[in-house]
Chain A
Amino acid sequence: MSPVVSPADSPAVGRPPRTVVVGAGLAGLTAAAELAAGGSEVVVLEARDRVGGRLLGVEVAPGEWVDAGAAYLGDKHTELLDLMTRLGLKPAPMEMVGDSRFVLAPAGSEAATRAGRFPPLSAVALGDLFEQLDALTRQIDPIAPWRTPDAARLDRLTAARWAEEQLPREDARLFFPLFLG
């Protein structure tokens, strides 16, 4: 959730109220849009170099985008569907259609892309990712994760930083957010 802070010296007579919204995720941007529509001057602060928060699209091949963050909404998300309608956005049906969504490349082949297909990914690179995830999760007791060796460091480590440190190969880095998503 994004805290909304109204400066104490506002509103001055004859001036619109001024508001600072911290965080440009879905909640922050929605709050900012409604405040602006209500006549407030709004400043949105965001630590990252992008907006969207947990919403994130990744272009895995030219013109081929996948969701690497929040992706699904249901019929009962009436407010969100209403907002999308007002913004002229359409949901896409989520039935699985067509062939598998990623392809393991033959050894030594060049990764090639064609419409509707993501580049074939190196089986060795993906195996390295899965092997490392397995080695990491084998140490963790899900009932008492704080007892994991090195728990304090792992607790501060983001998935992105872990991938940066552990995955030298591009194919594994490409696949990791899709696997998490």
Chain B
Amino acid sequence: MSFPTPVPVDALLAIFRWVLETDDVSPSTNFFEAGGDSLLATRVLSLVARDHGVELGFDEFVCHADPAALAGLVGRLLSGEPAGSPS
């Protein structure tokens, strides 16, 4: 039995704000509704890989496209759990 490794939402908030070039991002802000596109999404995935050591696919990001959901997904993957659906 493993416990999810917590990944602070703040870390994902900082990545969203950097890539979207706005401070107007909350834990529930949907990346694509806030002006993100597929090109910018690849930059989020690159920074997640750099900072957290997890390589996500584009499809996974689309299903976890806000900071809170993405933090949850990264935490579950770091704990070795299957990605599953957004919590």
Pair from one complex: yes
Residue positions of A touching B, CB distance < 8 A: 104-109, 122-128, 130-131, 134
Interface size class of B (residues with CB under 8 A): 10 to 19
Within the complex, which residue of A109, A128, A130, A134 is in contact with B57, where a contact is CB–CB below 8 Å? A109
Q: By CB atoms of chain B within 10 A, which of A109, A127, A130 has the most?
A: A127
* 1/0 contact string of B28-54 vs chain A (CB within 8 Å): 000000000011111111110110000
CB distance A106 to B57 under 8 Å? yes
Can you offer 5 A-B residue contacts whose CB atoms are under 8 A? A106-B58, A107-B56, A124-B46, A126-B39, A130-B43
* A118 vs chain B, min Cβ distance (A): 15
CB distance B55 to A104 under 8 Å? no
Within the complex, which residue of A108, A123, A128, A131 is in contact with B58, where a contact is CB–CB below 8 Å? A123
Q: What are the 3 A-B residue pairs with the smallest beta carbon separation, nearest first?
A: A127-B46, A127-B42, A107-B57
CB distance B46 to A130 under 8 Å? yes
Distance between Cα atoms of A108 and B60 in the complex (Å):
12
Distance between Cα atoms of A108 and B61 in the complex (Å):
14
Within the complex, which residue of B38, B47, B59, B61 is in contact with A131, where a contact is CB–CB below 8 Å? B47
The verdict on A130 contacting B56 (CB below 8 Å), with A123-B45, A124-B45, A124-B49 known, is no
Contacts of B41 in A (CB 8 A): 123, 127
Contacts of B61 in A (CB 8 A): 123
* 1/0 contact string of B7-39 vs chain A (CB within 8 Å): 000000000000000000000000000000011
CB distance A104 to B46 under 8 Å? no
In the complex, residue of chain A having the shortest beta-carbon distance to the beta carbon of B46:
A127
Within the complex, which residue of A107, A108, A109, A124 is in contact with B42, where a contact is CB–CB below 8 Å? A124
CB distance B55 to A127 under 8 Å? no
CB distance A127 to B57 under 8 Å? no
Contacts of A127 in B (CB 8 A): 41-47, 49
Distance between Cα atoms of A107 and B41 in the complex (Å):
14
Distance between Cα atoms of A161 and B46 in the complex (Å):
22
Distance between Cα atoms of A126 and B41 in the complex (Å):
10
Contacts of A106 in B (CB 8 A): 57-60
Distance between Cα atoms of A176 and B45 in the complex (Å):
18
CB distance B58 to A104 under 8 Å? yes
Distance between Cα atoms of A109 and B59 in the complex (Å):
12
